[in-house]
């Protein structure tokens, strides 16, 4: 029996509630296979499209207040967490497995002096014209950037997670045999101000948050589920090659060779390395290969 952190991509969750519900049936099936193998499972998930959608609805709506980013993240944890625990709970009931699952609203602590706060890089929400973006910079104090010819978008900082406020809650539940959903969307980002934790408009990379979670619950394996079956070198080229088992040293060389796309595969690899470094195992695999990946028979396996 292993303690496993599974990190699900926000893009795999769909663009609206009906789509999310449908896609999660498949996710639930794979997660329950893992539980049937006797593993302790903690689930982390992204929220990119969903938190963008929530933020946008408050921005566009004329009779509701503006909703700050940490609060939108909290809403996305409720929204995605509900569907996750409902679909996994339904699959468990169907297979007559007596296990409880719940989603924990989770705050993740970041350092207010993290250099990321000086350099917002994470694009969120919808696209604006140049004129609109100038207005938003002025009226809302947003940082706006041109995004790959598709228009202007708000960018927020993406600081590193340093602690998970509700980690004792997560540990208690795991120790009691429950399944836990936590650090949704990378967690609600908060900084320390004296004794208080205060929400900050930023987005924590969900794979970095998952690696921190895996470290803090002393997991054996971190599994990052994504759209591709493996990590590739020369991705998209004729000489593309899937990596099966790979050392941290080899990955670090490949990172220096700029083999992995920034904002896509690179953060997953960095998070995997961070976790594997302490004699642990990280796996990057597709959802469809999840069971095999859980048994270290598919995906890209990084052993520290």
Quote the least distance from Cβ 243 to a copy of itself, whole Å. 36
Q: Which residues are catalytic?
A: 10-11, 122, 206, 268
Number of residues written out for the chain: 304
CA quadruple 19, 21, 24, 26: dihedral, nearest 10: -80
Q: Which is nearer to a copy of itself, 17 or 263 (CB)?
A: 17
Quote the least distance from Cβ 41 to a copy of itself, whole Å. 14
* Measured distance CA(231)–CA(9) in Å, rounded: 15
Nearest to 231 by CA among 213, 206, 251, 248: 251
Q: Which is nearer to a copy of itself, 70 or 157 (CB)?
A: 70
Strand, coil or helix: 16: coil
Chain positions 162 to 201 lying near a copy of itself, rule: CB under 8 A, are: 165-166, 168-169, 172-173, 176, 178, 181, 188, 190, 195-197, 199
190 near 141, Cβ under 8 Å? no
Chain positions 89 to 148 lying near a copy of itself, rule: CB under 8 A, are: 89-90, 93-94, 100-107, 126
* Measured distance CA(193)–CA(197) in Å, rounded: 6
Quote the least distance from Cβ 119 to a copy of itself, whole Å. 26
Beta strand 107-110 with 188-193: parallel, antiparallel or unpaired?
parallel
Q: Which is nearer to a copy of itself, 172 or 295 (CB)?
A: 172
Chain positions 56 to 95 lying near a copy of itself, rule: CB under 8 A, are: 56-65, 67-68, 70-71, 74-79, 81-83, 85-86, 89-90, 93-94
Q: Which is nearer to a copy of itself, 196 or 239 (CB)?
A: 196
Quote the least distance from Cβ 304 to a copy of itself, whole Å. 30
177 near 47, Cβ under 8 Å? no
Question: Total binding residues for a copy of itself by CB under 8 A?
Answer: 58
* Measured distance CA(61)–CA(56) in Å, rounded: 8
Residue 64 has which token pair? 């509701």
Residue 272 has which token pair? 């995997």
Quote the least distance from Cβ 288 to a copy of itself, whole Å. 23
199 near 95, Cβ under 8 Å? no
267 lines the binding site for a copy of itself (CB under 8 A): no
CB-CB neighbours of 178 under 10 Å:
16
Burial of 137 (0-12, 13-18, 19+ CB in 10 A): middle
Quote the least distance from Cβ 163 to a copy of itself, whole Å. 13
> Which residues contact a copy of itself by CB under 8 A?
15-17, 53-54, 56-65, 67-68, 70-71, 74-79, 81-83, 85-86, 89-90, 93-94, 100-107, 126, 165-166, 168-169, 172-173, 176, 178, 181, 188, 190, 195-197, 199
């Amino acid at each position: 029996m292993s303690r496993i952190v599974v990190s699900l991509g926000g893009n795999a969750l769909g663009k609206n509630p009906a789509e999310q519900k449908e896609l999660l049936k498949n996710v639930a099936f794979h997660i329950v296979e893992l539980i049937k193998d006797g593993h302790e499972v903690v689930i982390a998930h992204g929220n990119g499209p969903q938190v963008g959608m929530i933020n946008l609805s408050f921005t566009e709506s004329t009779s509701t207040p503006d909703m700050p980013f940490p609060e939108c993240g909290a809403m996305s944890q409720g929204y995605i967490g509900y569907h996750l625990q409902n679909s996994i709970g339904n699959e468990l009931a169907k297979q007559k497995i007596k296990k409880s699952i719940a989603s924990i609203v989770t705050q993740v602590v970041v350092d207010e002096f993290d250099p990321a706060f000086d350099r917002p890089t994470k694009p969120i929400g919808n696209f604006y014209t140049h004129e609109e973006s100038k207005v938003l910079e002025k009226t809302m104090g947003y940082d706006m950037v041109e995004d790959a010819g598709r228009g202007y978008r708000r960018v927020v900082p993406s600081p590193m997670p340093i602690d998970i406020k509700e980690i004792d809650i997560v540990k208690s539940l795991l120790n009691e045999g429950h399944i836990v959903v936590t650090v949704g969307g990378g967690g609600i980002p908060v900084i320390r101000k004296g004794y208080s934790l205060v929400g900050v408009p930023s987005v924590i990379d969900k794979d970095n948050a998952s690696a921190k979670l895996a470290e803090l619950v002393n997991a054996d394996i971190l599994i990052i589920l994504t759209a591709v079956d493996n990590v590739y070198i020369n991705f998209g080229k004729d000489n593309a090659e899937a990596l099966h088992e790979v050392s941290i040293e080899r990955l670090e060389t490949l990172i220096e060779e700029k083999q992995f796309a920034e904002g896509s595969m690179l953060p997953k690899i960095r998070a995997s390395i961070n976790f594997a470094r302490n004699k642990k195992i990280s796996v990057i695999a597709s959802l469809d290969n999840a069971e095999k990946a859980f048994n270290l028979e598919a995906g890209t396996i990084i052993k520290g």
